[in-house]
Amino acid sequence: MSNPSILILPGDGIGPEVMAQVTRIIDWFGEKRDLKFDVETDLVGGAAYDKHGVPLSDETMARAMEVDAVLLGAVGGPKYDNLDFSVKPERGLLRLRKEMDLFSNLRPAQCFDALADFSSLKKDIVSGLDIMIVRELTSGVYFGEPRGIHKEGNERVGVNTQRYTESEIARVARSAFELARKRSNKVCSMEKANVMESGILWRDVVQEIHDAEYPDVELSHMYADNGAMQLVRAPKQFDVIVTDNLFGDVLSDCAAMLTGSLGMLPSASLGLPNAEGRPKALYEPVHGSAPDITGQGKANPIACILSFAMALRYSFDEGEEATRLEKAVEKVLADGVRTADLMGPDGGTPVSTTEMGDVILAAL
Amino acid sequence: MSNPSILILPGDGIGPEVMAQVTRIIDWFGEKRDLKFDVETDLVGGAAYDKHGVPLSDETMARAMEVDAVLLGAVGGPKYDNLDFSVKPERGLLRLRKEMDLFSNLRPAQCFDALADFSSLKKDIVSGLDIMIVRELTSGVYFGEPRGIHKEGNERVGVNTQRYTESEIARVARSAFELARKRSNKVCSMEKANVMESGILWRDVVQEIHDAEYPDVELSHMYADNGAMQLVRAPKQFDVIVTDNLFGDVLSDCAAMLTGSLGMLPSASLGLPNAEGRPKALYEPVHGSAPDITGQGKANPIACILSFAMALRYSFDEGEEATRLEKAVEKVLADGVRTADLMGPDGGTPVSTTEMGDVILAAL
Ligand SMILES: CC(C)[C@H](C(=O)O)[C@@H](O)C(=O)O
Ligand SMILES: CC(C)[C@H](C(=O)O)[C@@H](O)C(=O)O
């Protein structure tokens, strides 16, 4: 049998720097744990645009459809800000999500004990925080038609369409309920059913799937504006949150920032399982391409490394190895090893991106 | 000359309780400062539905168009949760906003010195916080057509439309720039131009209005997801934020919660000025109808009272009297007078809704 395959797309900005550390860790698992992967690397985002004139080539897209998992670094940068909408770096990422049908985006917002002081929130509000936001990722206003800018008389008009079908809502709801069962068995669904009909359908379908298939899970509904408030006020009231593409974008970033350590947070984007029960999957850090610190050895590789841990768990059914990697990261943090973004008043040992890779490998 | 006119719509839940204190304060200004208003009271939301079968009658709507300012308490409650979308309490509020053309919604997020400890954020992150969110209020996905739930084959599909015209964006941008000139001269505009064409138009028009009419104001642009993060991370970086209806809903609630004292925050919704330079205007607290504490004398009337202070400033050109009222509120807080929502570990003198009205009147 051949090894499972991974396509690495480092992308732009600090993407290649943090991904370099992930590659070392993948190698370590091959050598020391006999977990071998066939790894290939390709371009996405601005890097792909520079070479091919598009942020994702058809060849790369085809490879992404074939491999067992995709690891992505980050896309975008000031150099590409004025490109036409259709070839912006983000379009490469959005094409991957859409064509791989990665409808379920898991974004953990977890507060690491050693880093609780980094949050702008009071320690007792966030310490021990462990929420999972499940964001619908392939529909809604990101992809709905009609869309565009047109003229009406003398005026420009901008249009986008929020559109959700029953089955699109049902499948992401199921993925949230499944996750909840492995956690604290509690789901909160967020929408604006008080002003949007698509929100009414969202609420109704989530409730129906709950009643028919997951009556054992505790389900609540909340308007998204109140959701933003409650995340700031008392985030620990939540376990799993399920919401649409756009609210998920904003609320998951809000939740991520509560932890105070954005450089630590991974994400997984999953599709439907194939015949062997393996979902199409893309893993990426929550942080962006951070052009301001690119090439300075300052980037924190942990979010990207923990994204690989998610790959071990969700794509390769290697939960124990995932935990091994996560524990190594926790140990390094507890030892006070810190990239620049994690340097606080309490001191700690400052390290570069590569040195952080070194100590995590040592801890493994 | 007749007195300026005010239409009071107490609405549902704690709305009537908090509005009762505002009425006393309006009377005080008439007696002690010779600022007399013609006040009339009517129904909105569930209260209007109970009487008329609609959340806002045509007669009330007509009066709202005629008066100089509308003061609204709050709408909604569990009793009305299962009503049809078209007659839900919220529709009354949305009709007022739309027909009065109240396109500019000012939502201050201000942290009161005496209450900085109430925030879930660290004191140094929020103390002295004073942001103004300008939310577009009459367009976008709240009102765009087509909308609704329909069938496609066996499936239900929910649709809403995000639609912005150039002039809709231009007028709310102007209102943000005007405000900024009276504050720290800094505007940050938020959208998702990286994924939505309506966001591209938003960004372009805000920039054009800036360059042509307000080049002296410092303008920046931020994606709304990053905006949510930055609000949590370092809210004091902002002065005026301008954004669309839906992002404004979520981000202003997030910002409000940063202050830790939701029961304190007023809002103004303004239209275009009439011939005398007075805009159509509606003032309301940011908090909701709080069914859980309705009728218990626990509600904090300050948000509603400060909404009247905004009316004094923006509708009646009585900035000094507005400041007088705001100062009275600050004094009462500094003296440790506290409704239930403001009771913290530091003690303070607990008071009821009416008693809070008493001490504010005394402080005036
Ligand atoms: C880069 C951008 C297109 C993307 C999004 O809006 O989904 C990002 O913000 C995210 O959350 O992954
Ligand atoms: C009550 C509701 C319709 C309203 C809105 O969504 O605009 C409220 O959340 C607000 O922000 O004023």
Task: Let me know if A19 is exposed, middle or buried by CB neighbors in 10 A (0-12, 13-18, 19+).
Answer: buried
Cα–Cα distance for residue pair A162/A159, rounded to 1 Å:
10
Q: Give residue B155's Cα distance to chain centre.
A: 38
Comparing CA positions, the residue from A192, A250, A86, A147 lying closest to residue B164 is A147
- pLDDT score of B274: 82
Residues in chain B, total = 364
CB contact (8 A) between residue B161 and residue A161 = yes
Cα–Cα distance for residue pair A249/B228, rounded to 1 Å:
10
Q: How many CB atoms lie within 10 A of CB A241?
A: 28
List the single residue in A with minimal CA-CA distance to B81.
A194
- pLDDT score of B92: 97
Residues in chain A, total = 364
List the single residue in B with minimal CA-CA distance to A231.
B254
What string of DSSP letters covers A319-347?
HHHHHHHHHHHHHHHHTTEE-GGG-BTTB
Q: Is B164 touching A (CB cutoff 8 A)?
A: yes
The interface residues of chain A toward chain B in range 52-91, judged by CB-CB distance below 8 A, are 76, 85, 88, 90
Please indicate whether residue B335 is annotated as part of the active site. Answer: no
The residues of chain A scoring below 70 in pLDDT are: 1, 345-346
Kindly tell me if the per-residue pLDDT of B273 is higher than 90.
no
pLDDT tens readout for residues B148-204: 999 999 999 999 999 999 999 999 999 999 999 999 999 999 999 999 999 999 999
- pLDDT score of A348: 86
Strands (E), chain B: 5-11, 38-41, 69-74, 104-110, 130-136, 144-152, 155-165, 186-191, 218-223, 240-243, 266-273, 279-285, 337-338, 349-350
Which residues of chain A make contact with B254, given a CB cutoff of 8 A? 228-229, 231-232, 254
List the single residue in A with minimal CA-CA distance to B198.
A158
B161 vs chain A: nearest CA distance in angstroms? 5
Q: Is A194 touching B (CB cutoff 8 A)?
A: yes
Strands (E), chain A: 5-11, 38-41, 69-74, 104-110, 130-136, 144-152, 155-165, 186-191, 218-223, 240-243, 266-273, 279-285, 337-338, 349-350
Contact B301, B357 (CB under 8 A): yes
Using omega within 30 degrees of 0 as the cis cutoff, is the peptide bond preceding B146 cis? yes
- pLDDT score of B218: 98
Tell whether ligand 2 has an atom less than 6 A from the beta carbon of residue A226: no
pLDDT tens readout for residues B221-247: 999 999 999 999 999 999 999 999 999
A197 CA to middle of ligand 1, Å? 24
Please indicate whether residue B346 is annotated as part of the active site. Answer: no
Comparing CA positions, the residue from B88, B149, B144, B86 lying closest to residue A201 is B149
Of residues B274 and A264, which shows the higher confidence score? A264
Nearest bound ligand to the CA of residue B196 = 1
Using omega within 30 degrees of 0 as the cis cutoff, is the peptide bond preceding A146 cis? yes
B336 vs chain A: nearest CA distance in angstroms? 22
Nearest CB to B141; choose among A152, A196, A225 = A196
For the ranges A154-168, A256-270, B102-116, B267-281, the maximum mean pLDDT occurs at A154-168
Nearest bound ligand to the CA of residue B289 = 2
pLDDT tens readout for residues B289-310: 999 999 999 999 999 999 999 9
Q: Is B345 touching A (CB cutoff 8 A)?
A: no
Between β-strands A218-223 and A186-191, what pairing exists: parallel, antiparallel or unpaired? parallel
Indicate which residues of A carry an active-site annotation: 142, 192, 225, 249, 253
Q: Which domains does chain B carry?
A: 1-115+261-364 (3.40.718.10)
Average pLDDT over every residue of B54-83: 96
Q: How far is CA B175 from CA A247, B180, B221, in A?
A: 26, 9, 17
Ligand 1 pocket list (CB less than 6 A): A 90, 93-94, 249; B 194-195, 225
How does DSSP classify residue A358? Answer: H
B27 vs chain A: nearest CA distance in angstroms? 34
At how many degrees (to 10) do helices B58-66 and B89-99 cross? 40
Nearest bound ligand to the CA of residue A137 = 1
Please indicate whether residue B142 is annotated as part of the active site. Answer: yes
Which residues of chain B make contact with A160, given a CB cutoff of 8 A? 161-162, 196-199
How many helices (H) and strands (E) would you count in chain A?
A: 12, 14
The interface residues of chain B toward chain A in range 121-160, judged by CB-CB distance below 8 A, are 121-122, 125, 141-142, 144, 147-149, 152, 155-160
Tell whether ligand 2 has an atom less than 6 A from the beta carbon of residue B244: no
- pLDDT score of B295: 95
Reading the block at residue B186, the tokens are: 């800094």
- pLDDT score of B1: 67
Q: How far is CA B300 from CA B304, B305, B356, B362, in A?
A: 8, 10, 8, 17
- pLDDT score of B343: 84
Average pLDDT over every residue of B79-103: 94
Closest-CA residue, ligand 1 atom 10, reads: A249
Cα–Cα distance for residue pair A159/B161, rounded to 1 Å:
7
Closest-CA residue, ligand 1 atom 2, reads: A90
Average pLDDT over every residue of B308-337: 96
Residues 6+ apart with CB under 8 A from B293: B14, B299, B340
Nearest CB to B196; choose among A141, A165, A252 = A141
Kindly tell me if the per-residue pLDDT of B103 is higher than 80.
yes
Percent of chain B with pLDDT over 70: 99
Set B42, B68, B244, B249: catalytic member: B249
Name A144's bridge partners.
A161
Q: Is B195 touching A (CB cutoff 8 A)?
A: yes
Which residue is associated with the tokens 């201050």? B108
Set B101, B130, B253, B358: catalytic member: B253
Contact A263, A287 (CB under 8 A): yes
Cα–Cα distance for residue pair B317/B308, rounded to 1 Å:
12
Reading the block at residue B230, the tokens are: 């930055």
Q: Is A272 touching B (CB cutoff 8 A)?
A: no
Residues 6+ apart with CB under 8 A from A244: A135, A136, A139, A140, A162, A164, A191, A198, A202
Q: Is A256 touching B (CB cutoff 8 A)?
A: yes
A308 vs chain B: nearest CA distance in angstroms? 24
Residue B215 is assigned to a ligand binding site? no
Name B11's bridge partners.
B74
How does DSSP classify residue A191? Answer: E
Residue B107 is assigned to a ligand binding site? yes
How does DSSP classify residue A264? Answer: G
Between β-strands A104-110 and A266-273, what pairing exists: parallel, antiparallel or unpaired? antiparallel
What string of DSSP letters covers B268-313?
EEEEEE-TTSPEEEEEEESS---GGGTTTT----HHHHHHHHHHHH
Which residues of chain A make contact with B156, given a CB cutoff of 8 A? 165-166, 201, 205
Kindly tell me if the per-residue pLDDT of B345 is higher than 80.
no
* C-alpha angle B316-B319-B322 in degrees, rounded to nearest 5: 90
Set B12, B42, B68, B142: catalytic member: B142
**Which helix (H) or strand (E) segment is A307 a member of?**
helix A302-314
A318 vs chain B: nearest CA distance in angstroms? 32
CB contact (8 A) between residue A158 and residue B200 = yes
Q: Which amino acid is at B283?
A: Y
Nearest bound ligand to the CA of residue A142 = 1
Separation of first and last alpha carbons in chain A: 27
A43 CA to middle of ligand 1, Å? 18
CB contact (8 A) between residue A234 and residue B160 = no
Q: Is A323 touching B (CB cutoff 8 A)?
A: no
Please indicate whether residue B123 is annotated as part of the active site. Answer: no
- pLDDT score of A1: 67
Q: What are the two backbone dihedrals, phi and then psi, of residue A156, each rounded to the nearest 5 degrees?
A: -85, 145
Separation of first and last alpha carbons in chain B: 27
Cα–Cα distance for residue pair B268/B241, rounded to 1 Å:
15
